[in-house]
Amino acid sequence: MSENPDLTNERASGTFETNAMAAVIYGSEKFAQRRREITEAISKIPEFQDSHPLVFMSREEKISEACRKLAVLSNYWNSLIDTSDEEEALHLYREVLGLEGHPLALHETMFIPSLIAQASDEQQEKWLGRAQRREIIGCYAQTEMGHGTNLRALETTATFDISTREFILNSPTITSLKWWPGALGKSANWSIVIANLIIKEHNYGPHPFMVQLRDEKSHEPLPGITVGDIGPKMAFNGADNGFLGFKNYRIPRENMLMRHSKVTSDGSYIKPPHAKIGYSSMVKVRSRMAMDQGLFLASALVIAVRYSAVRRQGYLEDKSREVKVLDYQTQQHRLFPSIARAYAFIFCGFETIRLYDQLLIDVQNGNTSGMADLHALTSGLKSVVTYQTGEGIEQARMACGGHGYSMASYISEIYGVAIGGCTYEGENMVMLLQLARYLVKSIEMIQNGKSRELGPMVAYLAENESEIDLNLGPNEYLKVFEYAARNQTWRATEKFQKLRNSGMSNEEAWNQASVELTRASRLHTRLYIMSTFINHVGSIVDQKVKGVLIDLLNVHVTYEVMDIGIYVQGLLSSNQMDLIRNQLYVSLETIRPNAVSLVDSFQISDMQLRSVLGRRDGNVYENLFKWAKSSPLNKTDVLPSVTQYLKPMMEKSKL
């Protein structure tokens, strides 16, 4: 069937090449091209297609379907991608497995990265190759039923037995059961387990251990291990998140990951070079989350924008034909600022991935000085992008009206997966408060006359801006954001200090200032996102692409400043706010002809999108009908439930 002419016209009105834009989104022409080649190659392999729509499958069927595809994938890895390239591998996973989770997700995202960052050279020699060849499947078991956030309160113990040179693992209470780890329930046979290291009755706190859970031949749990699936979740139902308990389960001393902390055979403990070095796997995932969430948001927007260009409802001036709903200003206001955010998140993602890779090298060379900065940055960023992505996806769903609520749109699945990110890798409020600690320390440095020692990301806290000329473009908007973030950070810090100075304990003063502190963290992070967006656009060479991204940046800066209006009341007059509001409306109109091309540029395939509404060809209605007809409920005209219950009820009512 040919393309819906409404989408053809939209594509014709675009002022730039989508391939050129994809090269900017994905960091290079080479990688954008590789993505297209991988997608093309996969589309020719029938075994990678869903056996039937995932949304009609039970959880067991989803997991089985994911495993089937993983097994097929293992025959194609080397021919489809450069296996040393993480981005190519992730693209392949996204295309084939989609976003509902699968039994190798944690193996790739946390198990292998933990071995790389935490295992000694000898340990890597023993396990890393096996893991990379997928001879074993691993997971990352840290969270317990009773504690996820407060790692210092984890209860699982690993007690060193000097006589046998083994660790004895125990789960002393119900709440100490590991709870949540992906792939633990049914798939993984090994795990990195975070447990309290105990030597001669002294607790050295949580440390990582390499633990075999299941027999490598029979896949049965080993004696001393209780393991299973935690049941269905809001989303991620292609993954078997699990529980795990230990009863006097022994592992050799060599199974504690000993790149940084060490226990010698006589039971001596050697401290790591930085107390939080064991948290690196979390920082790794957090550093990728801006990119991943940007792509979740992008997926929902591809669906909503394409659909809005084929959905016609109501009239503007021309009463002879209904308009595309994308022409309504309210629809544009709902969707276009999110397009800008998706671009901005992806650009930030590249930056934080690069920073993590550099930090990993530095730490391996004994330099841990960058850890605090990256922890603070990624803590704030994961919190802001997950929250705003959730907001943006939900708006995209509503922008699709009734059909958005159908699973045919697939938006609810994207939403469920994306907002998991508000919780995993550190609950958002908690992570905002981690960043706040860093911001408060920065203010204290200024108060102590050490402004010159501030890092570049917080140097603005020591500046002073009281007047803004808003005709000068994005950099002036950045100044507005700096003003808001600086003011809020000072106000929150002063509130905390005042409470503390009044005699309150440090902890209670912190608690009572914490809402204000989280607000400071959000503003600081949004400032970082905006400045990364501005810098990125400044570096683009292709003039057509750059022109459209400047238009998109204008949507971003005006929308973001309007959104934080309450924090800039002391800086901007109501006339200036009106001016910004009008600039936003103008920028929505400016971006309108490029809206479809901007979302096409994400180059997310139909196979990955799984959305009837978001199809590239725009043939929504005929496929919606086809999709509904494929519902298992439509296999027969009369359901047994009707014969068994409703018919007798109706007959009885007739009497």
Ligand X SMILES: CCCCCCCCCCCCCCCCCCCCC/C=C/C(=O)SCCNC(=O)CCNC(=O)[C@H](O)C(C)(C)COP(=O)(O)OP(=O)(O)OC[C@H]1O[C@@H](n2cnc3c(N)ncnc32)[C@H](O)[C@@H]1OP(=O)(O)O
Ligand Y SMILES: Cc1cc2nc3c(=O)[nH]c(=O)nc-3n(C[C@H](O)[C@H](O)[C@H](O)COP(=O)(O)OP(=O)(O)OC[C@H]3O[C@@H](n4cnc5c(N)ncnc54)[C@H](O)[C@@H]3O)c2cc1C
Could you tell me which residues are annotated as the binding site for FAD? 143, 182
Rounded to 5 degrees, what are φ and ψ at 13?
Answer: -85, -10
Active site residue 425: yes
Q: Shortest Cβ distance from residue 602 to ligand Y (Å)?
A: 24
CA 162 from centre of chain: 42
Site for ligand Y in 433-462 (CB under 6 A): 433
Minimum CB distance to ligand X smaller for 309 or for 433: 433
Q: At what angle do helices 371-399 and 514-538 cross, to 10 degrees?
A: 80
Considering only CA atoms, give the Rg of the chain.
27
Site for ligand X in 282-341 (CB under 6 A): 282-283, 285, 288, 292
Binding mask 398-437 for ligand Y (x = CB under 6 A): ----------------------x--xx-xx-xx--x----
Binding mask 333-372 for ligand X (x = CB under 6 A): --------------------------------------xx
Q: What does the alpha-carbon distance between residue 500 and residue 504 come to, in Å, rounded to a whole number? A: 5
Minimum CB distance to ligand Y smaller for 111 or for 336: 111
> In the chain, how long is the greatest CA-to-CA distance?
90
Chain residue whose CB lies nearest ligand Y: 148
C-beta of residue 300 within 8 angstroms of C-beta of residue 415: yes
Q: Shortest Cβ distance from residue 370 to ligand X (Å)?
A: 9
Q: Which of 100, 155, 425, 482 is catalytic?
A: 425
Minimum CB distance to ligand X smaller for 191 or for 554: 191
Binding mask 398-437 for ligand X (x = CB under 6 A): --------------------------xxx---x---x--x
Residue-wise DSSP of 479-506: HHHHHHHHHHHHHHHHHHHHHHHTT--H
Interaction partner, residue 108 (ligand Y, ligand X, none; CB < 5-8 Å by kind): ligand X
Residues 6+ away with beta carbon under 8 Å from 577 = 562, 565
Residue 274 class from Cβ within 10 Å (0-12 exposed, 13-18 middle, 19+ buried)? middle
Binding mask 138-177 for ligand X (x = CB under 6 A): --x-xx----xxxxx-------------------------
Interaction partner, residue 481 (ligand X, ligand Y, none; CB < 5-8 Å by kind): none
Q: Shortest Cβ distance from residue 84 to ligand X (Å)?
A: 8
Residues 6+ away with beta carbon under 8 Å from 617 = 1, 2, 3, 4, 7
Place of tokens 């199974």: 255
CA 402 from centre of chain: 27
Minimum CB distance to ligand Y smaller for 185 or for 618: 185
Tell me how many residues contact ligand X (CB under 6 A). 33
Minimum CB distance to ligand X smaller for 380 or for 618: 380
- CB under 8 A, 24+ apart: contacts of 30-33: 31/87, 31/88, 32/603
Interaction partner, residue 109 (ligand Y, ligand X, none; CB < 5-8 Å by kind): ligand X
Tell me how many residues contact ligand Y (CB under 6 A). 21
Q: What does the buried/exposed string (b/e) look like for 498-532 if buried means 16 or more CB atoms within 10 Å of the residue's CB?
A: ebbeeebeeeebbeebbebbbbbbbbbbbbbbbbb
Note whether 89 binds ligand X by CB under 6 A: yes
Binding mask 137-176 for ligand Y (x = CB under 6 A): ---xxxx---xxx---------------------------
643 residue type, one letter: T
Note whether 83 binds ligand X by CB under 6 A: yes
Minimum CB distance to ligand X smaller for 436 or for 588: 436
Structure tokens at 67: 């495993």
Shortest CA distance to 15 belongs to which of 597, 636, 614? 597
Residues 6+ away with beta carbon under 8 Å from 120 = 257, 258, 259
Which residues define the annotated binding site?
A: 143, 182
Q: What does the alpha-carbon distance between residue 19 and residue 5 come to, in Å, rounded to a whole number? A: 21
Which of 14, 113, 138, 182 lies at the binding interface for ligand Y (CB under 6 A)?
182
Minimum CB distance to ligand X smaller for 51 or for 149: 149
Interaction partner, residue 338 (ligand X, ligand Y, none; CB < 5-8 Å by kind): none
Place of tokens 């992070």: 525
Residue ranges in contact with ligand X by CB under 6 A: 83, 86, 89-90, 105, 108-109, 113, 140, 142-143, 148-152, 182, 276, 279, 282-283, 285, 288, 292, 371-372, 375, 424-426, 430, 434, 437
Enumerate the active-site residues: 425
Query: Could you list the residues that contact ligand Y (CB under 6 A)?
Result: 106, 140-143, 147-149, 180-182, 236, 241, 420, 423-424, 426-427, 429-430, 433
